[in-house]
Amino acid sequence: MINITLPDGSVKQFAKGSTAMDVAKSISEGLARNVLAAKVNGEVWDATRPINSDATLTLLTWNDKDGQSTLWHSSAHLMAEALEALYPGIKFWVGPPVEHGFYYDVDLGGKTISPEDFKKIEDKMLELARQSNPYIRKEMSKAEAVKYFTEKNDEYKLDILNGLEDGNITFYEQGKFTDLCRGPHIPHTGMIKAVKIMSIAGAYWKGDEKNKQLTRVYGTSFMKQKDLTDYLNMLEEAKKRDHRKLGKELEIFTFDDDVGPGLPLWLPNGAAIIECLEKLAKDTELRAGYQRVRTPHLAKENMYKTSGHLPYYEDSMFPPMVMDGEKYYLKAMNCPHHHKIYATLNPSYRDLPVRLAEYGTCYRYEQSGELFGLMRVRALQMNDAHIYCTEDQFAQEFRAVNDMYLKYFKIFGIEKYVMRFSTHSPEKLGKKYVNEPALWKKTEDMVRQVLIDSNIPYVEVPDEGAFYGPKIDVQVWSAIGREFTLATNQVDFAVPARFGLTFRNANNELETPICIHRAPLGTHERFIGFLLEHYAGNFPVWLTPKQVYILPISEKYNDYAKKVLSLLNFYDIRALIDERNEKIGKKIRDTELKKVPYMLILGEKEAADNSVSVRMHGEGDKGSMSIEAFGKMIQDEIKGILG
Ligand SMILES: [Zn+2]
Ligand SMILES: [Zn+2]
């Protein structure tokens, strides 16, 4: 018998050679039908592979990222089987899972695939899927494998085999298709219920343009038809909500060749949104006991050597400039500057925690091929702060940071979020991770406890922490269900020591503080990019650049419009008058396109009784009211969101 330890810590006994599928069946048949793979001692395995000694086991379903990629990798094999049936003689290079599906690089031997062929490939895949063929794992000697692919005349797989060591070569077979593959795979093809070929592209063999060009066929697949339909609808909606398209239409930001790639210019509407976000952040941080600081955009080489940015992070920094014989770098992070301010403040334990906040502008060298609208840029303004505290204060400070996140999620209507909690790996202490086993354990336990206590959904990812402490990446989903990584929090118990940061404790001894790096609103660039998609450009009234357009129905009422505008200013409402000599119908249509939340229509009746006729974006006529009532209504609406 062997002992199988499940994620809840319970231990069950099974016969030697039992599989994860056997374990699933012992729990429930329903679960077994959904098991795609399993994590055995931390490694992803076939659910049908015999386990021969004691092990920890996590069953993986569609709800796990590793479950999804196993389904997609298996779908790449299924697509290969379909392609081999449709295009005899086809040769295969590699076929991995990717973010939302899979691809396979293929050599069609002079034939071509075009989008008209996609349906044919999908139909063939579904036909083969319905056969519910098992994915069978076979261990091979290198000689046998070489013989197989030599007979098949497959130079690509022979090339892969060349780089593999004898003794750990495996084949996977399903239906009529056999592939050289490390696996793992799902139990059988019948679990793939919906498939879609997404696109084709050229791809040079091994990414080298001197090599032959192969065809890369992209696809995706799901366990339910409805999931595929939802995914395709989401892509369609995302196209309409693309932040680059909306950012142009709503005049939020632009790029200019003379300024340079990845360096966004914020237009007045974009700057207005930024002002609102910074006001929210500053008010929130003031109430939470933060102090604001300001730091220059560059510093001497030596500081980045102390921080470790040089040489480890040099590739991501702008090249240095030389002045007075000294090298200066644009800052890629605000931390080192804040550490210097902390050192100057020279606090005692009574002054801790010290919380230093700055909307700091950082510069990062992203490859030009990586630049993408506001999502990947070279200049970024970060909602940054560093909290310096004692070990005893850490849990409370970390909890307060989480509360701030939750407050923001509510304000922005972010309903789905998860914190990815990356921890260290004890075997790699002193190599990948700073050698402080007790501090690692203590801070990780505290972080985990806070996440549990605050009821925040989180996933724990071992062996992905930062060098100097555990890390929390905050993933959010926009209103249409697309995932964004917004911000990263880090616990840092190594760098403060490198900077010689200390405080005097109650016994008058010098101690090193722990530092929490946090940026709940991420960068303006990524966050506004996210919000554009999230709101489809319909910003809520507190955040929208122009809250009200005043539309006089003819020039006769322009004077009354000016009076209304000055009264609205009194209520801190951002408004403007459309004084164009246009028909009111056209003015309304133009304003609708700008997604302005409120329009006030002014004519004879309104001028006579000091009122405004209100139209709401997307909802139409809201009737007439006094200017005061309207001003109060907007103020209440904003208060309802911001508190
Ligand atoms: Zn494979
Ligand atoms: Zn930092």
Give the distance (Å) from ligand 1 centre to CA of residue 80.
Answer: 10
Q: Is the pLDDT of residue 349 over 90?
A: yes
What pLDDT, on the 0 to 100 scale, is given for residue 260? 95
Average pLDDT value for residue range 215-227: 97
Per-residue pLDDT reduced to its tens digit, 123-143: 999 999 999 999 999 999 999
Tell me: the pLDDT tens digits for 158-185? 999 988 888 889 999 999 999 999 999 9
When pLDDT is cut at 50, 70 and 90, the band that residue 560 belongs to is very high
Provide the pLDDT confidence category of residue 193 given band limits of 50, 70 and 90: very high
- Ligand 1 center–CA 95 separation, angstroms: 6
Q: Are 464 and 490 in contact (CB under 8 A)?
A: no
pLDDT of residue 165: 86
Distance in angstroms (rounded) separating the CA atoms of residues 431 and 460:
21
**Closest listed ligand to the CA of 495:** 2
pLDDT at 521: 96
Average pLDDT over residues 368-386: 94
**Residue 179 CA: which ligand is closest?**
1
| Joined tokens for residue 424 | 């260290």
Which ligand is closest in space to the CA of residue 97?
1
From the CA of 78, which ligand is nearest? Answer: 1
Q: At what angle do helices 391-411 and 437-453 cross, to 10 degrees?
A: 40
Residue 487 has pLDDT above 90, yes or no: no
Q: Where are the beta strands (DSSP E) in 423-528?
A: 458-461, 471-477, 483-492, 503-504, 510-511, 514-518
205, amino acid identity: W
What is the pLDDT, as a whole number, of residue 312?
A: 80
CA atoms of 207 and 94, how far apart (whole Å): 12
Ligand nearest to the CA of 334: 2
Q: What average pLDDT score do residues 185-210 get?
A: 94
Cα 532 to middle of ligand 1, angstroms: 38
| Cβ-based neighbours of 208, under 8 Å, separated by 6 or more | none
CA dist list (Å): 533 to 125, 244, 269, 306: 34, 10, 16, 40
> φ, ψ for residue 40 (rounded to 5)?
-110, 115
1-20: average pLDDT? 94
d(CA 339, ligand 2 centre) in Å = 9
Q: How far is the CA of 333 from the centre of ligand 2 (A)?
A: 6
Q: Ligand 2 centre and the CA of 334: distance in Å? A: 6
Judge whether residue 481 has pLDDT over 90.
no
Q: How far apart, in Å, are the Cα atoms of 632 and each of 569, 622, 628, 636, 637?
A: 12, 15, 6, 6, 9
Q: Taking residues 286-312, what's their average pLDDT? A: 93
Q: Is the pLDDT of residue 82 over 90?
A: yes
CA 499 – CA 486 distance, rounded (Å) = 28
pLDDT of 480 reads 87
Closest ligand to the CA of 518: 2
Helix extents (H) in 87-193? 118-130, 142-151, 155-162
Is 347 in contact with 331 (CB distance < 8 Å)? no
> Would you say the C-alpha torsion 16, 18, 20, 24 has a positive or negative sign?
negative
Q: How many residues does the chain have?
A: 643
How far apart (Å, rounded) are the C-alpha atoms in residues 454 and 562? 50
Tell me the CA–centroid distance for residue 128 and ligand 1, in Å. 17
Looking at the CA of 70, name the nearest ligand. 1
Q: Band the pLDDT of 295: cuts 50, 70, 90.
A: very high
User: What is the CA(179)–ligand 1 centre distance, in A?
Assistant: 7
pLDDT band at 633 (very low <50, low <70, confident <90, very high): very high
Q: How many angstroms is it from 268 CA to the middle of ligand 2?
A: 29
From the CA of 632, how far away is ligand 1's center (Å)?
63
511-520 pLDDT per residue, tens: 999 999 999 9
Q: Inform me whether the pLDDT recorded for 309 exceeds 90.
A: no
Which ligand has its closest atom nearest to the C-alpha of 515?
Answer: 2
Predicted pLDDT of residue 609 = 92
Asked whether residue 308 carries a pLDDT value surpassing 90, the answer given is: no
What is the helix (H) or strand (E) element at residue 605, kind and residue range? Answer: helix 604-609
- The ligand that comes nearest to the alpha carbon of residue 309 is 2
% of residues, the chain, pLDDT over 90: 86
Asked if the model's pLDDT at residue 110 lies above 90, the reply is no
pLDDT tens digits, 591-619: 999 999 999 999 999 999 999 999 999 88
Ligand nearest to the CA of 173: 1
What's 553's DSSP letter? Answer: S
- The total of other beta-carbon atoms located within 10 Å of residue 346's CB is 11
Helix, strand and coil content of the chain, in percent to the nearest 5, comes to 40, 30, 30
* Mean model confidence pLDDT for the chain: 94
For position 566, what pLDDT does the model report?
95
Q: Which ligand is nearest to the CA of 492?
A: 2
Q: What is the C-alpha separation between 108 and 106, in angstroms, rounded?
A: 6
Q: Is the pLDDT of residue 228 over 90?
A: yes
- When pLDDT is cut at 50, 70 and 90, the band that residue 573 belongs to is very high
Q: How far is the CA of 298 from the centre of ligand 1 (A)?
A: 47
Give the confidence band of 156 by pLDDT, cuts at 50, 70, 90: very high
Identify which of 105-114, 127-136, 463-472, 616-625 has the greatest average pLDDT: 127-136
Determine the distance separating the centroid of ligand 1 and the alpha carbon of 230, expressed in angstroms.
27
Q: Check whether 571 has a pLDDT greater than 90.
A: yes
Ligand 2 (ion): residues with CB under 5 Å are 335, 517
Rounded-to-integer distance, Cα 36 and Cα 69, Å: 10
Render pLDDT for 574-588 as a digit per residue (tens, 0 to 9).
999 999 999 999 999
